[in-house]
């Protein structure tokens, strides 16, 4: 019982037979251990708890401990852990009525083990779990061969529905539940290297977290055949490791080495003669737009990524999904070719719908591709995606630069989205920042680009007619009227480059001007940079760039809205496009 706290641990009876051999080696160990009626009770009050003292650590480790951590032998550390595990399963163990509970306000979750027996080789136990969703009963059994570091365990839910496991939601609201799981491991020391061969499988796994997907994600069947290795200065998954999602086998290998340089690498691939196998393997709830999607043909995927951790600029990143005789049989929830014809678009601000309008002739502001100033088209392409008309939806170099930049700055400082990806995100997907949305975006872009569902010109036309150009200003037709009171085909070079600069932060257009209505220097410099790039790309003549007017004159409704001279954000600089 901690001072001034709730009782943390109680136990009725403990019976132990000491392992003399371990004791002579100055290690604590038992030949037999019996614990009867014990309870570990974790209690969280509004201003205190009874367990924080258990996780207190030294805040400022000395230089010697840091150096020891950086030079520690990975193999020796894993061997030490393995030895401790083997020591535990070298004992006869009996638990009766062992309970771990967590209480926070009115919530009380627990794991109760009515009985657990291990005779030195065979393991049997029943487990009761209770979360805020409900109570489940589990049977756990298996075998352990400590002498050969070999373990085989099975877990199966026998009563109760798919209720969440207790305690898991304490980690940022996670939810996890499953029907059954199997774990088989064997560790072998080969020529001074520790190899771990394992097989894991899980059925009816459900995972829920807002960073993964806004919906519960279901994995009917997962299998993982692992070949891991741990050496003195490296560790990872060796070639031959296979992850099977439903019926789709995916090979994977990884490695982390700290000598001669710190480097992380991952390779992954799959190949299937039945493309539908890929879409059937997509976890339910993770890829909403592909529900009911049908396809045929062959697909082959390859990923090769090598990251020198101390030199991110030297990163290697190659990812490709190749097709052969691939054909879409039927669309699922979304028809990805719908943007080839007039359609209704819903403009969103986060998860909030702002307005709805037609992307077609019914909309008086809708502007076909041929009626948009070439200056604007080329300025947007130069600022946002210079190789749009030629790439297949993705630019690997952009991905590499994004990863390197984000690693250097230790934050998400730069994305690698192309116009194709921005278009898909705006038309087909929600604005939630989850793993599922990003993966779904990549897959839809691949389908649209590789299957040529619509032309590049139509993609760019739709993009320019739906994106936000200012507060509640959507589409190039509205933008040209709002800022310059003219149609998109009348835009000048300077007006076009100015509009292109708005795309990353359209709501902040006012802050590009000083209180007198003049462009701030950083925007003027950006306009000169884009014009020079246009000359290099042979989209304008050098004389046009030399005559560029960087002092934009607003002539539309936007001219009446300037920043308050007393505003504290006068000097804030919105993020402008990155020009490769």
pLDDT in tens, 103-142: 988 889 999 999 999 999 999 999 999 999 999 999 999 9
The token duo for 549 is: 């007017």
Q: What gap in Å lies between CA 207 and CA 172, rounded to an integer?
A: 13
**Beta-sheet pairing, 92-104 with 30-44:** parallel
**Residue range(s) in the chain whose domain bears CATH number 1.10.3810.10:** 338-560
What number does CATH give the domain 338-560? 1.10.3810.10
Give residue 19's pLDDT: 81
Residues 360 and 343: beta-carbon distance below 8 Å = yes
**The whole model's pTM is what?**
0.86
SS3 258: coil
Beta bridge partners of 357: 345
Give residue 566's pLDDT: 46
* Burial classification of residue 7, based on how many CB atoms lie within 10 Å of its CB (0-12 exposed, 13-18 middle, 19 or more buried): exposed
Q: What stretches in the chain show pLDDT beneath 70?
A: 56-71, 411-415, 561-580
The token duo for 145 is: 């061969």
* Long-range pairs of 534-537 with CB within 8 A, sequence gap ≥ 24: 534/378, 534/379, 534/382, 537/378, 537/382, 537/386
Give residue 307's pLDDT: 92
CA 55 → CA 50, 59, 103, 519, distances in Å? 11, 12, 18, 55
Give residue 414's pLDDT: 57
The secondary structure element, H or E, covering residue 347 is: strand 343-349
Q: What gap in Å lies between CA 277 and CA 249, rounded to an integer?
A: 10
The token duo for 46 is: 């509004």
Neighbours of 499 (CB within 10 A): 28
> 268-321 pLDDT, tens per residue?
999 999 999 999 999 998 898 999 999 999 999 999 999 998 888 889 999 999
Q: C-alpha angle with apex 17: 11 to 20, nearest 5 degrees?
A: 135
Q: What gap in Å lies between CA 371 and CA 294, rounded to an integer?
A: 37
Phi, psi of 263 (to 5 degrees): -150, 135
Give residue 58's pLDDT: 52
Q: C-alpha angle with apex 477: 472 to 483, nearest 5 degrees?
A: 65
Q: For 201, left (φ over 0), alpha (ψ -120 to 50), or beta?
A: beta
SS3 201: strand
CA 523 → CA 350, 448, 505, 529, 546, distances in Å? 27, 34, 13, 10, 17
Phi, psi of 537 (to 5 degrees): -85, 0
Give residue 252's pLDDT: 97
Phi, psi of 124 (to 5 degrees): -140, 140
Q: What gap in Å lies between CA 301 and CA 270, rounded to an integer?
A: 5
Q: In the predicted model, what is the mean pLDDT of the chain?
A: 89
Q: What gap in Å lies between CA 357 and CA 353, rounded to an integer?
A: 12
Among candidates 300, 343, 561, which has minimal Cα distance to 466?
Answer: 343
- The DSSP output letter for 569 is T
Q: What gap in Å lies between CA 235 and CA 264, rounded to an integer?
A: 10
Give residue 71's pLDDT: 62
Cα within 13 Å of Cα(174), Cβ side: 10
């Amino acid at each position: 019982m901690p001072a001034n706290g709730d009782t943390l641990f109680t136990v009725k009876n403990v019976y132990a037979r000491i392992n003399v051999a371990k004791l002579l080696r100055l290690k604590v160990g038992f030949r037999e251990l019996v614990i009867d009626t014990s309870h570990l009770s974790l209690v969280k009050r509004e201003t205190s708890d009874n367990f924080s003292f258990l996780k207190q650590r030294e805040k400022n480790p000395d230089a010697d401990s840091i150096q020891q951590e950086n030079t520690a032998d990975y193999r020796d550390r894993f061997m030490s852990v393995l030895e401790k595990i083997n020591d535990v399963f070298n004992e006869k163990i009996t638990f009766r009525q062992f309970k771990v509970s967590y209480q926070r306000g009115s919530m009380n979750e627990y794991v109760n083990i009515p009985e657990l027996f291990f005779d030195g080789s065979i393991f049997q136990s029943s487990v009761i779990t209770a979360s805020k969703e409900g109570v489940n009963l589990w049977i756990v059994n298996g075998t352990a061969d400590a002498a050969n570091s070999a373990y085989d365990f099975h877990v199966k839910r026998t009563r109760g529905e798919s209720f969440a496991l207790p305690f898991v939601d304490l980690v940022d609201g996670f939810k996890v539940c499953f029907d059954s799981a199997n774990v088989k491991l064997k560790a072998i020391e080969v020529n001074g290297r520790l190899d771990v061969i394992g097989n894991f499988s899980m059925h009816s796994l459900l995972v829920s977290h807002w960073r993964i997907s806004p919906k519960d994600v279901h994995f009917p069947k997962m299998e993982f055949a692992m070949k891991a290795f741990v050496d003195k200065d490296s560790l990872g998954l060796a070639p031959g490791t296979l992850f099977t999602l439903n019926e789709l086998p995916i090979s994977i290998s990884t490695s982390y080495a700290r000598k001669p340089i710190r480097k992380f690498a991952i390779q992954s691939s799959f190949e299937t003669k039945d493309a539908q196998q890929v879409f059937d393997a997509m976890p339910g709830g993770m890829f909403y737009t592909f529900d009911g999607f049908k396809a045929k043909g062959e697909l082959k995927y390859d990923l090769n990524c090598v990251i020198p951790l101390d030199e991110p600029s030297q990163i290697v990143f190659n990812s490709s999904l190749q097709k052969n005789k691939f054909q879409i049989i039927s669309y699922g929830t979304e028809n990805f070719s719908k943007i080839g014809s007039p359609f209704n678009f819903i403009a969103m601000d986060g998860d909030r719908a702002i307005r709805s309008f037609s992307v077609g002739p019914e909309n008086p502001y809708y502007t076909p591709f041929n009626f948009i100033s070439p200056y604007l088209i080329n300025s947007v392409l130069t600022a946002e995606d210079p190789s749009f008309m030629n790439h297949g939806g993705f630019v690997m170099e952009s991905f590499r630069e994004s990863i390197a930049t984000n690693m250097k700055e230790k934050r998400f400082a730069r994305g690698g989205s192309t116009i194709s990806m921005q278009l898909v995100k705006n038309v087909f997907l929600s604005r939630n920042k989850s793993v599922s949305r990003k993966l779904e975006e990549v897959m839809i872009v691949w389908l649209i680009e590789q299957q040529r569902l619509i032309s590049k010109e139509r993609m760019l036309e739709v993009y320019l007619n739906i994106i936000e150009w200012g507060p509640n200003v959507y589409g190039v037709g509205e933008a040209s009227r709002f800022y310059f009171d003219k149609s998109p085909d009348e835009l000048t070079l300077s007006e076009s480059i100015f509009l292109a600069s708005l795309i990353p932060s359209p709501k902040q257009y006012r802050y590009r001007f000083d209180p007198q209505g003049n462009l701030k220097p950083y925007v003027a410099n950006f306009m000169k940079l884009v014009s020079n790039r246009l000359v290099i790309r042979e989209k304008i003549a050098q004389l046009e760039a030399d005559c560029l007017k960087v002092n934009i004159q607003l002539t539309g409704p936007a001219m009446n809205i300037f920043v308050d001279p007393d505003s504290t954000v006068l000097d804030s600089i919105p993020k402008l496009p990155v020009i490769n």
